[in-house]
Structure 1
Amino acid sequence: MLENRRFVIIGFFALIGFIYLFRLFYLQVLDESYSIESSSNSIKRVIEVPFRGQIYDRNGKLIVYNTPVYDLLVTPYKVKVDDTLRFCRVLGIEKREFDSLITAASAYSRVKPSLFLRQLSKEDFASIQDIMVDYSGFEFAKSSMRTYKGATLANTLGYVSEISKKQLEKQEEPYYRQSDYIGQTGIEKIYENELRGKRGTKFVMQNVSGVYKGAWKGGELDTMAVAGANLYSGIDIDIQQYADSLMMNKVGSVVAIEPKTGQIISMVSAPTYDPNFLATRHFSKNYTALYRNPYKPLFNRPVMASYRPGSTFKLIQALIGLQEGVITPNSGFTHANCPIGCHNHPGTPTVALGVTHSCNPYFYNVFRRIIYNNKISNTFKASAAGLDVWHDRISKFGIGQQLGIDLPSERKGNLPDKKYYDKIYGENRWKFSNIYSLSIGEGEILITPLKMANVAAIIANRGYYYTPHVIHSVGESRTVNPDFTVRHETGVAPHNFEPVIEGMVGAVEGGTARRSKVEGIEIAGKTGTSQNKRGMDHSIFIAFAPVDDPKIAIAVFVENAGAGGSAAAPIANLIIEKYLTRKITNKALEERIMKADFMKNVILPAPPKPVAKDTVKRRQGIPMAPLEKPIPSEINWFKRF
């Protein structure tokens, strides 16, 4: 018994000894990390930042790519600059900026290299690299700069800038380091993980002076950087730039969708700016100039601006009324006893003519029948149940909720229900006279241009839609987000769309949008005039074409431009013709729209407060340069775009 115990004890200690010996062998022979650490004076670990993925349009045209540039890094404890003024002249900076940058670098670390100047061009690098050898403590690192093919799609694409301290602290995996760039808005933000790629690591030998002596161990421990995945969008860059030109000197939005897929063809937020403006080392200065611009070019109107839909909402009212069975395609209404006025025409005998003439009394009666389920003998009491039915039906068109587009900050808008009015008037203390303005798209309902473009796509598809999206596939394998292939049904039967579409065709051929019809293309459209407390009403138009085989659905909003047929409809129909035929036949209309300036009608709000310095530091990591107040010439510069 004792003999057996002795062997167990000997075996246990032998096992422990073997484990220690194996661990020592692994650390000294197999594991290179400690060897690298012990050789830190002669071996340098270099992180290679990959190129971000590029972005293409639906026809394979490049929209966003990368331009090689150089960053200047500084290690504060090594810095020796005898003639600071000469050094500043070489780099084209002020002495106070030099002092601030050195202070910021020292605060980060005196012994680790950090960013001093970012994004020096190849020409700048070539002109100063020989001179910089006279200044110890500085070194160059290859980098890249986002470059945009044209002055378009700024808010949709978004921008990249230096990662903030808060973002560094919140990252789930230790990927980013101080001074790294990260997508902050738009597509650049939503697809950051796909675009950023995978970092590489190189180990290089250097002497005590920091002079490169070659790859360590022949580069066998190096890992290659992997470029980010390319993104393939549904954007037609030619149509996008054409839409931009039509929206010049206007405030508003254009959203065009391919109905059969949900792909965004064009998305304009006007006024816009050149995205290259925020892709330079002068980011802080340029961002502040955009932020202070009173026309808010940084505000992404297609997904963030909320408007009353006006008469375009009558299309949904008609569809819900037909589906609920409270009207038929041949239902007619007079103007008698209607509190809402209308245009100079008698009573309306059909749904189609109601849409064509945009008859307010007609849709007042349709809405009343929906709310009271055709029991309209007493409309002085609230019908909470009817409003809930109406609310549920409308919400299936994507109203009052986020559609799920691949862009940040999408607004829900507002779709009132019983709880909404109970909160305003008290429980069950409201009645039809408090809500009838909803019948013509006014009152408390608010929508975004994206949602109205989606409504046009729903009608084009006769009852369903796919989630609108900018990017349709990712990477060389063209991976598709499965969420964008889900068919969303509205619950309205396809046959109920026919009288509504008939009325939309009539509106373009001989109704409220007749002045901008396109010969040879059958367009179904609906104008809208959205009431506005500040200045002139907003001009709205939604449409799709061709009617029998829809390839484009569109919504156009022009702020303070008046009736829908005067501004929004011509813009939409010109874009439709350009997309379907690649040419424009009505040159006179095109010229008139391009020359039109509705920005003068916009009543500007009070200017925003200046961006706080700590906000700028978080975005770029350098002090904010002093700026003059906006002047008229600066405002005109933005109007050019």
Structure 2
Amino acid sequence: MYTGRSLVVAITIGVIALILLGKLFLIQVTDDSYLRKAERNAIQRVVDHPYRGLVYDRNNSLMVFNDPVFDLMVIPKDFSLKDTTRFCELFEIEKESLIENFTAAKKYSWVKPYPLIKQISKEDFAKVQDFLIDYKGLFVMTRSVRSYPRSSAANVLGYIGEISGSQLSRDSSNYYVQGDYVGHSGIEAYYEPELRGKKGVKYKLVNVRGIEKGAFKNGDLDTLSMPGENLQSTIDLNLQLYGEYLMEGKRGSVVAIEPKTGEILSIISAPSYDPNVLTGAKFGENYEVLNKDPDKPLFNRPIMAMYPPGSIFKIVQSLIGLQEGIITPNTTFACNKALVNCHNHPSPVNLFGAIRNSCNPYYHQAFRQVINQEISSNTYTDTQIGLDKWRESVLKFGLSNRLGIDTHGEKSGLIPSSALYDKIYGKGRWKYSTIYSLSIGQGEMLVTPLQMANLAAIFANKGYYYTPHLIKSINDDPSRIPDKFKEKRDSGIDAKHFDLIQDAMAEALYGTATRAIMKDIEIAGKTGTAQNPAGEDHSVFIAFAPKDDPKIAISVYVENAGWGGRAAASTASLLIEKYLTGEINRPELEEYVLKGDFIY
């Protein structure tokens, strides 16, 4: 017989036994968490990184492809070294770097893989792969880096690198993890979603030494990576290479556009760099060198540099005056050098003569009529009203705003408003005599080389443009380029006013840019010499050709090279010849440009 006390003890023991049996049943039969934990001790989850999409030029020449590299991954709890010196010699890593990387790995996780040595080239990996079996806790993850068959278009294509902390925090898709590579500039950054592809995952069984023993669950849980989409750029690689050749040893920009589509044929920033140096294990070291280079090769001048447009802006002034009815083709002014300096040419001149001879006093007087229309009896107020009305017309040419090219970092330039001059001089304390330098593209006015080329496209198209862009198709599908690049944009100027402008621009070469004249192709162009208080003036030229059926519009800006009719016009003329004929038949002009002795 159980006493009351012994009965309580027996029941308690029975209950505890039942609980233990129930828990054991749950562990062994219904709860597989312990099984999964045990499996994880022998399973490696390896991310299968996709190949990025390739990039081709408009003629299907390969511009960017992928090269395999290998990241040596470490699981800290499994890794130990008996001979650190031998390891460092085998894998060509400094002891300090090894310690630093392994410390970072332990800080990240004791049980998760972390890169110990990044981006081992396929040549170096071939030397060490047989030694991996000697080191527990190490395995290799295959990655890829970009490679460039021609050392060209670095600023256009951009580069890829490890994702930054700020980029990771902005990743709403949750696609990226620390250590992933992303586009950091150029096409690589803008079209990152298309280029990156989709990651896959493989689960591998490994023994206690980290040696692979096959796929986990026959690979049923594995997923395949999907490569990124290929891009066809608008760039003509042959034209790009030739332009970079002509700009060697110079500072400046070249932008060439197909006027009828807005497709960028060439976009050159000088000086530039070999894009291959920003790939592989020495990326960080090489980036620092480029970043500290006083010539600023990483600075993308075509979209980031801002300069006074100089005399090329006289064409815009002419068109606004014609559209507003303030001037006509027969409007005539004397070349009065007391107003503003000018070179020698016949005087007086009508509008055609003003464009042909780039007459500064003509535009000083014409711009005054545009600005001071006597809307108010107060001269200061009248100038303010006129300037803001004029500015509204200028903005329709795509100035003082980002055009929206498909790359990051584009600057907007500046077309000054009355608010700017109120800030500088005080409200009601400035008038036309304060701002007359705007009449010839100087003063506070700033444009980018891309905007200059777009102006040339507007003049070629008789009043409209398409947003300049760098991509022609995505995965062979032209319809997939962003819609904004298919939208025709109007400058607000009637097409009829462009006939005189085009004829005068063609004749202008005989007045200010005789070197640019071609025998069989009629070029319409305009020179500019942008004043530079810090040194020699900058050489500027815009053009389109052939005049009656334009296939190329171009801007060239050569810093500290003096008159626009020398460096810039000569360079542009050679590039037009190269694009339209495929060859150069003026070796003496090519030699002149390559020599670069423009100041004399």
Task: Give the TM-score, by structure 1 length.
Answer: 0.86
Structure 2 equivalent of residue 349 of structure 1: 349
SS in 2 for 1:129: helix
1:34 shift after superposition: 9.3
1:300-449 counterparts in 2 under 5 A?
300-336=300-336, 338-373=338-373, 382-449=382-449
Change (3 A) 1:328 1:177: same
Corresponding position: 1:482 with 2:483 = yes
1:378 shift after superposition: 8.9
Amino acid at match of 1:457: A
Structure 1 equivalent of residue 218 of structure 2: 218
Structure 2 CA distance for aligned equivalents of residues 493 and 477 of structure 1: 34
Structure 2 equivalent of residue 580 of structure 1: 580
Please identify, of 257-266 and 421-430, the stretch whose mean Cα deviation from structure 2 is larger: 421-430
SS in 2 for 1:218: helix
Structure 1 CA distance for aligned equivalents of residues 543 and 375 of structure 2: 34
Structure 1 CA distance for aligned equivalents of residues 452 and 595 of structure 2: 26
Structure 1 equivalent of residue 98 of structure 2: 98
Structure 1 CA distance for aligned equivalents of residues 35 and 220 of structure 2: 14
Structure 2 CA distance for aligned equivalents of residues 214 and 73 of structure 1: 18
SS in 2 for 1:39: helix
Change (3 A) 1:167 1:336: closer
Change (3 A) 1:32 1:350: farther
Amino acid at match of 1:385: I
Corresponding position: 1:552 with 2:552 = yes
Please identify, of 252-261 and 172-181, the stretch whose mean Cα deviation from structure 2 is larger: 172-181
Change (3 A) 1:505 1:107: same
Structure 2 equivalent of residue 495 of structure 1: 496
1:369 shift after superposition: 1.2
Amino acid at match of 1:245: Y
Structure 2 CA distance for aligned equivalents of residues 221 and 245 of structure 1: 52
Identity of aligned residues (%): 51
1:597 shift after superposition: 6.2
Structure 1 equivalent of residue 282 of structure 2: 282
The answer to whether the Cα contact below 8 Å between 1:257 and 1:457 also exists between their aligned partners in 2 is: yes
Change (3 A) 1:597 1:114: farther
1:37 shift after superposition: 5.4
The answer to whether the Cα contact below 8 Å between 2:258 and 2:552 also exists between their aligned partners in 1 is: yes
Structure 1 CA distance for aligned equivalents of residues 32 and 53 of structure 2: 32
The answer to whether the Cα contact below 8 Å between 2:72 and 2:115 also exists between their aligned partners in 1 is: yes
1:498 shift after superposition: 1.3
Structure 2 CA distance for aligned equivalents of residues 235 and 32 of structure 1: 57
Corresponding position: 1:204 with 2:190 = no
Structure 2 equivalent of residue 85 of structure 1: 85
Change (3 A) 1:37 1:542: farther
Structure 2 CA distance for aligned equivalents of residues 190 and 65 of structure 1: 17
SS in 2 for 1:50: coil
Structure 1 equivalent of residue 529 of structure 2: 529
1:440 shift after superposition: 0.2
Task: Give the TM-score, by structure 2 length.
Answer: 0.92
Structure 1 CA distance for aligned equivalents of residues 400 and 408 of structure 2: 17
Amino acid at match of 2:249: N
Change (3 A) 1:93 1:46: closer
Structure 1 CA distance for aligned equivalents of residues 377 and 252 of structure 2: 43
Deviations 1:277-314 (A, max 9, x none): 11121111101100111010010000000100000110
Structure 2 CA distance for aligned equivalents of residues 396 and 223 of structure 1: 51
SS in 2 for 1:579: helix
1:330 shift after superposition: 1.8
Structure 2 CA distance for aligned equivalents of residues 95 and 381 of structure 1: 73
Structure 1 equivalent of residue 22 of structure 2: none
Structure 1 equivalent of residue 146 of structure 2: 146
Amino acid at match of 2:397: F
The answer to whether the Cα contact below 8 Å between 2:58 and 2:234 also exists between their aligned partners in 1 is: yes
The answer to whether the Cα contact below 8 Å between 1:472 and 1:481 also exists between their aligned partners in 2 is: no
1:539 shift after superposition: 0.5
Structure 2 CA distance for aligned equivalents of residues 35 and 347 of structure 1: 96
Please identify, of 431-440 and 472-481, the stretch whose mean Cα deviation from structure 2 is larger: 472-481
Structure 2 CA distance for aligned equivalents of residues 463 and 477 of structure 1: 29
Change (3 A) 1:36 1:203: farther
Corresponding position: 1:245 with 2:274 = no
Higher relative CO (Cα under 8 Å, sequence separation at least 6) belongs to 1
Structure 1 CA distance for aligned equivalents of residues 62 and 597 of structure 2: 31
The answer to whether the Cα contact below 8 Å between 2:195 and 2:230 also exists between their aligned partners in 1 is: yes
Please identify, of 404-413 and 335-344, the stretch whose mean Cα deviation from structure 2 is larger: 335-344
Structure 1 CA distance for aligned equivalents of residues 348 and 588 of structure 2: 34
Structure 1 CA distance for aligned equivalents of residues 61 and 374 of structure 2: 54
SS in 2 for 1:130: helix
SS in 1 for 2:260: coil
Change (3 A) 1:551 1:376: farther
1:107 shift after superposition: 2.1
Change (3 A) 1:259 1:83: same
Structure 1 equivalent of residue 455 of structure 2: 455
The answer to whether the Cα contact below 8 Å between 1:253 and 1:302 also exists between their aligned partners in 2 is: yes
Structure 2 equivalent of residue 614 of structure 1: none
Amino acid at match of 2:471: I
SS in 1 for 2:511: coil
Structure 2 CA distance for aligned equivalents of residues 131 and 391 of structure 1: 70
Structure 1 CA distance for aligned equivalents of residues 312 and 224 of structure 2: 55
SS in 1 for 2:286: helix
Amino acid at match of 2:506: V
The answer to whether the Cα contact below 8 Å between 1:81 and 1:136 also exists between their aligned partners in 2 is: no
1:374 shift after superposition: 7.9
Q: How many residues align?
A: 573
Change (3 A) 1:206 1:137: closer
Change (3 A) 1:32 1:219: farther
Please identify, of 195-204 and 518-527, the stretch whose mean Cα deviation from structure 2 is larger: 195-204
Q: Say what the alpha-carbon RMSD is for the aligned residues.
A: 2.3
Structure 2 equivalent of residue 471 of structure 1: 471
Amino acid at match of 2:525: G
Change (3 A) 1:506 1:477: closer
SS in 2 for 1:407: coil
1:338 shift after superposition: 4.8
Change (3 A) 1:36 1:452: farther
